[in-house]
Structure 1
Amino acid sequence: MNNHRRRLRAGHSAGLALVLSAALVATGCATSAAERPESQAATVSASGESQEPSASSPSPEAPGSPEATPSVPSPGSIPVQPADQGQQEPTPEPAQLLYPGIDADIPVEPRGVAEDGQMDIPDDAAQAAWYEYGKAPADQVGTTVISAHAGSQETPVGPLYALKDSRPGEEVTVLDEAGVAHHYEVTQVEQLGKDGLDFAPYFERTGKHRLVLITCGGQWIDERGSYADNIIVVAEPLD
């Protein structure tokens, strides 16, 4: 992969500190009208207990930003601020996601934020996006976020369509561009309504390292041309 696409990581180095809007990812998944699964349980923790998602929606803290935003930016308006350039070694980018538990094998490419304020995700559901302003598996801190559409015109049923069927304890592997395999264990499976969903906790650049997978699911909304919910899977390193 072109070294120009690699990021130098020193805080926000060689990237942009992006303030996440409530719309980031929240409306970024659509699929064919023929694929409309029933709603799944709200949250499945590692203990197997079902939990209801919180109805509150606090203002999100910007991923990697030391301060919380004063208010939730409207869709399509994501403030940016310059980042300091660093001299750190580039960290290999994720290249492939393997999730045998849902029979998913999907290539991954780096993406940022689209013009409409949502996470930029490939149109084809057969391709996943890694949030390039976040962390990569080899960083060993913060969150690696990978997202893909549940389905698309090219691929009506994408590899992550079955993400809703994930179960705690299953293994997920991310191969990076250097050929190194990073192994994770699923610890939490959530189905959360897109409206008012705070994504900031899933895009943290500090703290314990983890992998977050995101796609869409739940009830199909014809007028939106999308699902009502996001399916979010959290996994922790096995290495």
Structure 2
Amino acid sequence: MVLVVSLVALVAVPIFWYGREAGEQPASVPEPAQTVPTRSTATPPTTPSATAPSVKTRAADLPTVAAEAQPLELIVGKAQLRMPVVPTGVAADGQMELPPNPARIGWYRFGPGPASTTGSVVLGGHLDSREYGVGPLARLSRTRPGDPIELRLSDGRTLQYRTEAVRDVDKQTLALAVVFDRSGLRRLQIVTCGGEYLPDRGGYQENLVVTAVPVE
């Protein structure tokens, strides 16, 4: 799966997306996102489910990654989802880099870190893949507002979040600037692919976006 995103200003907005419910996939940053439809089986499509965001910027324009605690594991109890988090950046083709294995989720390391006092920590991953099959994010759609989410960090801490919104967004209308916000209130944004899978139209047509706020 791959996320499709147009990075208008990587320094201001990160780059990638995922899907939704029972099938998920990544989305793009500055443009629309995609979501994954609720599906119960693990029959992966014959082509990638999502695409990464395209970024028009130079490596020198990327912000410096702060030397702080990094996310190691995402835990969403209601979705029976527990998966390792790996730092990701920008791929050679300008899209947001995503872990190839849908059993892992990427943290956009050029955006705010979990210890930041402002902005959105963005996690994104593939819903499925031809090589590995369907991943844990296929269960992310089970999440509902109010559900707890945990993010375990490299310094031993575990940050607690409360789900604020679960949305399926057409990838042509996804507000990437909002998802990858660097200066607003602290948020956790989890994105994957969703919606109907149409091979002749580029794969999944939506993104599943789960937004959570810190529990003080």
**1:82 maps to what in 2?**
61
> TM-score scaled by structure 1?
0.67
Matched position secondary structure for 2:178: helix
Evaluate the alpha carbon distance shift between residue 78 and residue 220 of structure 1 in structure 2; reply closer, same or farther with a 3 A threshold.
Answer: same
**2:45 maps to what in 1?**
33
Once the two structures are TM-superposed, the CA of residue 197 in structure 1 deviates from its matched residue by 2.7
Matched position secondary structure for 2:136: coil
Once the two structures are TM-superposed, the CA of residue 154 in structure 1 deviates from its matched residue by 3.9
Evaluate the alpha carbon distance shift between residue 78 and residue 156 of structure 1 in structure 2; reply closer, same or farther with a 3 A threshold.
Answer: same
Evaluate the alpha carbon distance shift between residue 85 and residue 153 of structure 1 in structure 2; reply closer, same or farther with a 3 A threshold.
Answer: closer
**2:74 maps to what in 1?**
97
- Aligned residue runs from structure 1 range 73-222, under 5 A: 76-80=54-58, 82=61, 90-222=67-199
Evaluate the alpha carbon distance shift between residue 32 and residue 208 of structure 1 in structure 2; reply closer, same or farther with a 3 A threshold.
Answer: same
1:78 is matched by which residue type in structure 2? K
Separation in structure 2 between the aligned mates of residue 226 and residue 104 of structure 1, nearest angstrom:
24
Matched position secondary structure for 2:192: strand
**2:11 maps to what in 1?**
17
Evaluate the alpha carbon distance shift between residue 85 and residue 132 of structure 1 in structure 2; reply closer, same or farther with a 3 A threshold.
Answer: closer
Once the two structures are TM-superposed, the CA of residue 219 in structure 1 deviates from its matched residue by 0.3
Query: Which has the higher Rg, Structure 1 or Structure 2?
Result: 1
Unaligned runs of 5+ in 1: 1-15, 35-74
RMSD: 2.9
Separation in structure 1 between the aligned mates of residue 95 and residue 150 of structure 2, nearest angstrom:
26
8 A Cα contact 1:143 1:205, kept in partner: yes
Q: Which has the higher strand share?
A: 2
Higher relative contact order (CA 8 A, sep 6+): 2
2:176 is matched by which residue type in structure 1? F
> TM-score scaled by structure 2?
0.74
Matched position secondary structure for 1:228: strand
Evaluate the alpha carbon distance shift between residue 212 and residue 27 of structure 1 in structure 2; reply closer, same or farther with a 3 A threshold.
Answer: closer
- Number of residue pairs matched by the alignment: 182
Separation in structure 1 between the aligned mates of residue 128 and residue 63 of structure 2, nearest angstrom:
38
Unaligned runs of 5+ in 2: 1-9, 17-26, 37-42, 47-52
Separation in structure 2 between the aligned mates of residue 84 and residue 228 of structure 1, nearest angstrom:
31
8 A Cα contact 1:111 1:120, kept in partner: yes
Separation in structure 2 between the aligned mates of residue 171 and residue 21 of structure 1, nearest angstrom:
25
1:132 is matched by which residue type in structure 2? R
Single out whichever of 199-208 and 216-225 deviates more from structure 2: 216-225
Once the two structures are TM-superposed, the CA of residue 155 in structure 1 deviates from its matched residue by 3.2
Matched position secondary structure for 1:137: coil
Q: What do residues 95-142 of structure 1 show as CA deviations (whole Å, max 9, x unaligned)?
A: 110011111111011111223332211111001100001111111321
Matched position secondary structure for 1:201: helix
8 A Cα contact 2:34 2:170, kept in partner: no
Matched position secondary structure for 2:133: coil
- Aligned residue runs from structure 1 range 62-81, under 5 A: 76-80=54-58
